[in-house]
Amino acid sequence: MARVRSPEKRSAILQAAVHEIAELGLGAPTAMIAKRAGVAAGTLFTYFASKEQLLNEVYLELKVEVYARINADFPHKGSLECRARHTWSNSLDWAIEFPEKRKASVQLNVSDLITPETRARTATERGTIDRTLDELGTRGALRGLPGGFPAAAMSAMQEATMEFIAKQPKQRKELMERGFQVFWRAVR
Amino acid sequence: MARVRSPEKRSAILQAAVHEIAELGLGAPTAMIAKRAGVAAGTLFTYFASKEQLLNEVYLELKVEVYARINADFPHKGSLECRARHTWSNSLDWAIEFPEKRKASVQLNVSDLITPETRARTATERGTIDRTLDELGTRGALRGLPGGFPAAAMSAMQEATMEFIAKQPKQRKELMERGFQVFWRAVR
Amino acid sequence: MARVRSPEKRSAILQAAVHEIAELGLGAPTAMIAKRAGVAAGTLFTYFASKEQLLNEVYLELKVEVYARINADFPHKGSLECRARHTWSNSLDWAIEFPEKRKASVQLNVSDLITPETRARTATERGTIDRTLDELGTRGALRGLPGGFPAAAMSAMQEATMEFIAKQPKQRKELMERGFQVFWRAVR
Amino acid sequence: MARVRSPEKRSAILQAAVHEIAELGLGAPTAMIAKRAGVAAGTLFTYFASKEQLLNEVYLELKVEVYARINADFPHKGSLECRARHTWSNSLDWAIEFPEKRKASVQLNVSDLITPETRARTATERGTIDRTLDELGTRGALRGLPGGFPAAAMSAMQEATMEFIAKQPKQRKELMERGFQVFWRAVR
DNA sequence: GATGAATGAGGTTTCATTCAT
DNA sequence: TATGAATGAAACCTCATTCAT
């Protein structure tokens, strides 16, 4: 048997990609990503067929990661507000904890390099969360709005909140809660 | 470089840049932008010192344009809600009317190429609007949150709303109003 | 007006390509070709869209060159044998005079990079010659064989002859004539 | 590298090389050759020290194969014409039966990768045939021409004939015989 | 000022070959 | 010995920018 493809290396490349994208944008050279991952330039292409594919996988990994965190101790039996707050806090926590990941995620989000297929593949992981958020869509203020709107609204409000937490990290706790309250008033 | 002969050419380049960025992202080649603008590749650099500067000016132009539209018939004497709704509608209208501009604007927004100076320069035009939005920050739900939060919140909610209008253009009117109501419930 | 595209440069690139292909085969790097032509690596691509296109143009140029030489003082009124001998001698002369061109030509000939379109484009120049050779096809030994056969036969016999002239350049004259006689006995 | 375990593998690699060269030219990647041969990329290099050596061996194998076929039922006692015709037919048959082999052979022939040593090594197998063809060189039209000329001439005429058989496979028999007659008129 | 050819650094990707397993 | 991941030197090509015209 030959040397076996190492998940660590693959992971290192993805991580390096996140870092470089956060720093240099989507134009970050694959050579630089490889270097930071501690592998040769050519090695990157044994793990990812092309830069575009690498970017798609980075996108996927980041999405999966947030959703995994939210799902981890999700209060399935909690009230709607409780579940919404859980989602709100956990994804914000992630974004604050890993600013590079968040930055890369944002860049990838607005890019046309991410294929519809890739975007679709995140649906699986989003299941639980979407169900909660969609429940919002059947009540109160959001009744009648298209499916997905609550999720989009939350994501949007988080974006806004995050910006301010980034500027005033000390008030993180408070801003996070106030942000949620604003959101909750809007949608409940 | 200094004082430039033809404002038409300058304008054509900016417009072409918007188009190409919308289509190809920030990696859009200057040569292609020049071509679409109907000028030679080199000419672009007599109007803009570098690609980076061009991008900054595009960003500025787009911001100025939305703000100008909002300011045009701004109901200075209207109620707070009235003024907020005016802002909401007009900027959404602009985004819907010029999808390319919106797309370019989003890309530029998340890019590190846009300098803090450039971002600061939009402040002037934002004056009236910000005053309205900040008024929101002194009352109700948003009291105590940092300045700029209302603007960020609106922008974020608009982003979400826009996404859905793009998917279901027929319900544009309704979605725009519903979106505003959600926002308004949150902040009033 | 800007600097104008110079036929000299184009020509230098083609010539350099011939040299490098003769030396290194079709894998000759474009960078090396450019260098030998005295232009920057990138410049090559303002004259030829791709390496493949460059190769096609080299092929064309070489063909055109031989045919031009044959056509130059073609004995239109001469006997069939006279015309055949003229064709034979002149193309052999060219091949002997420019061994690099011949070598490049051979390599390109057997390559799949040369498109049918390019091959077709040589037909124009081949006109006079083909008419002579096809005349052979209507008489004597070749009657009934498909059109193009005489040309192929001559080309093949020349190839063989050339090989020996290359080995014994001193007997060039004699070998050329003997070779023709062999060919002529075959086809007359 | 030294003595090698499996002749089957060696053979499979050679065969795969023929196929890939016919399809992609001499630039065919070793990895692709290995894949088609059903072995790992690295394995190829335990059978052949380098790509260049592999190519030389392919060349050799193909030559040996044609010569073997001609030698198989060679009419040693036949007339000169009979022996010449045998040679003509059998090598043409081979080329027609295995177009890939022929194509690879042509590519290798014009390449500088094939060393003089390799070319020389085909001499052994060519023995019988050359003796026949050289006999031609002592008589009639070819008297006085350098040794090897008859062989080259036949090869050349075959090349021409083959081209047309490829285009009109139905008339294969007839074209083959007519081609020989043309050749024979030239050299007898 | 306008043009677009020229430049060459740098980008992505390929590939012969090596080497750990 | 067989494997195929790892390597890194090129290869082709693009592109922001300069500069002769």
B187 vs A contacts (CB less than 8 Å): 182, 186
Between D110, D152, D186, which is nearest C186 by CB?
A: D186
Nucleotide nearest to A2 (CA to C1'): F3
Sole residue written with tokens 């380098």? D50
CB C67 within 8 A of CB C126: yes
Give the start-end residues of each E strand in B48-171: none
Estimate in Å the CA A3 to C1' E21 gap, whole number.
5
* Nearest protein residue by Cα to C1' of nucleotide E18: D42
pLDDT at A144 over 90: no
* Cβ distance of D145 and C175 shorter than 8 Å: yes
Angle CA D155–D133–D145, to nearest 5:
85
Sole residue written with tokens 């008030």? A171
Poorest-pLDDT segment among A51-60, C46-55, C72-81: C72-81
pLDDT recorded at residue C92: 93
For the stretch B163-173, pLDDT in tens is: 888 888 899 99
For the stretch A22-56, pLDDT in tens is: 999 999 999 999 999 999 999 999 999 999 999 99
What is the rounded average pLDDT of the residues A159-181? 90
- Answer with the residue of higher pLDDT: B27 or D138: B27
pLDDT recorded at residue A131: 84
Work out the end-to-end distance of chain D between its first and last CA atoms, rounded to an integer number of angstroms.
49
C141 vs D contacts (CB less than 8 Å): 181-182, 185
Best residue of A159, A171, A181, A187 to probe chain B, by most B CBs closer than 10 Å: A159
pLDDT band at C1, cuts 50/70/90? Answer: low
* Cβ distance of C182 and D187 shorter than 8 Å: yes
Q: Decide if D123 touches C, using CB distance below 8 A.
A: no
Work out the end-to-end distance of chain C between its first and last CA atoms, rounded to an integer number of angstroms.
59
* Cβ distance of D156 and C152 shorter than 8 Å: no
Local confidence pLDDT in tens for the 188 residues of chain D = 455 679 999 999 999 999 999 999 999 999 999 999 999 999 999 999 999 999 999 999 999 999 999 999 999 999 999 999 999 999 999 999 999 999 999 999 999 999 999 999 998 888 788 888 888 888 777 888 888 888 888 888 988 898 888 888 898 999 999 999 989 988 87
Sole residue written with tokens 């008129």? D185
CB D100 within 8 A of CB D56: no
pLDDT recorded at residue B3: 57
For the stretch B33-87, pLDDT in tens is: 999 999 999 999 999 999 999 999 999 999 999 999 999 999 999 999 999 999 9
Poorest-pLDDT segment among A14-28, A103-117, D164-178: D164-178
Cα–Cα dist A182/B183, whole Å: 9
Distance from chain centroid for Cα A119: 12
What percentage of chain C carries pLDDT values higher than 90? 69
- Taking every pair of C-alpha atoms in chain B, what is the biggest distance, in angstroms? 55
* Nearest protein residue by Cα to C1' of nucleotide F1: D5
Q: Is B74 helix (H, G, I), strand (E, B) or coil?
A: coil
Domains and CATH numbers, chain B: 1-49 (1.10.10.60), 56-187 (1.10.357.10)
Cα–Cα dist B188/B44, whole Å: 47
Residue A188's closest CA among A152, A132, A142? A142
Question: Average pLDDT of chain A?
Answer: 92
Q: What are the C-alpha distances in Å from D68 to residues B53, D71, D147?
A: 73, 5, 22
Residue A185's closest CA among A163, A153, A160, A155? A153
Which residues, other chains included, contact C140 with Cβ-Cβ below 8 Å and sequence gap of 6+?
C187, C188
| Nucleotides in chain F near protein beta carbons (<7 Å) | 1-21
Handedness of CA D125, D127, D128, D129 (dihedral sign): positive
Cα–Cα dist B98/B104, whole Å: 10
* Token code pair at residue D76: 């040693």
